[in-house]
Chain A
Amino acid sequence: GQNIDQPTEMTATEGAIVQINCTYQTSGFNGLFWYQQHAGEAPTFLSYNVLDGLEEKGRFSSFLSRSKGYSYLLLKELQMKDSASYLCAVHNQAGTALIFGKGTTLSVSS
């Protein structure tokens, strides 16, 4: 079976750094995605990792360890607009669709 775990909620302060963790169990691995979703809006693509290591994109970075079934999303220099849900997702066993975690709601305060 497949399972994705991520914390339900996190809080942080403007300008700080926050790390959102995701652990997964899957019978076949074809990459891990991170999406950002503001309340009531569509999820938008943030990053994709298929090999171990860190992928950096501006203020956002994503890390993957396939042997540990573990990923994290690192957000630097937090801004109020970063308050959103962050969804971790992996391909299903057949590689035909994505299985999403329940999301981590991040609240950034001033």
Chain B
Amino acid sequence: DADVTQTPRNRITKTGKRIMLECSQTKGHDRMYWYRQDPGLGLQLIYYSFDVKDINKGEISDGYSVSRQAQAKFSLSLESAIPNQTALYFCATSDPRTGDSNTQYFGPGTRLTVL
């Protein structure tokens, strides 16, 4: 089984709809991240969390919100989706205590299309 899972894997929605993307991990890592990827722009950090009570904005947090329901779960919400939020979204985890230099491990991604 995959260590980092994301649901749904693909989603098509309409402008103005509320969307939630979910991420779960079995790696036991404390740190979790949400990125979006657009063609030619690389990965951009949306939000990150170091534990259940710690939430931090990344480079491009406007229009997004997150919830860290448990150590293993980190959800990303688009309260009112707009077409320029069409992108590939990745969740990642890391833990500096594991001795792997705080390497980030990525989920398989969610492809979101906003019409």
Contacts and interface: CB of A to CB of B under 8 A. Distances in A.
Interface in B58-105: 58, 88, 90, 100-105
Contacts of A91: 102
A98 B45 CA distance: 8
B48 A103 contact: no
A102 to B, nearest CB: 4
A103 B42 contact: yes
A48 interface: yes
| Chain B residues touching A, majority SS | strand
Interface residues of A, number: 23
Nearest to A42: B106
Contacts of B48: 96-97
Interface in B5-60: 33, 35, 40-45, 48, 50, 56, 58
A31 interface: yes
Contacts of A99: 45
Given A42-B108, A96-B50, A97-B33, A50 B42 contact: no
A42 B109 contact: yes
B43 A96 contact: no
A43 interface: yes
Interface of B: 33, 35, 40-45, 48, 50, 56, 58, 88, 90, 100-109, 111
Interface of A: 8, 31, 33, 40-45, 48, 50, 87, 89, 91-92, 96-103
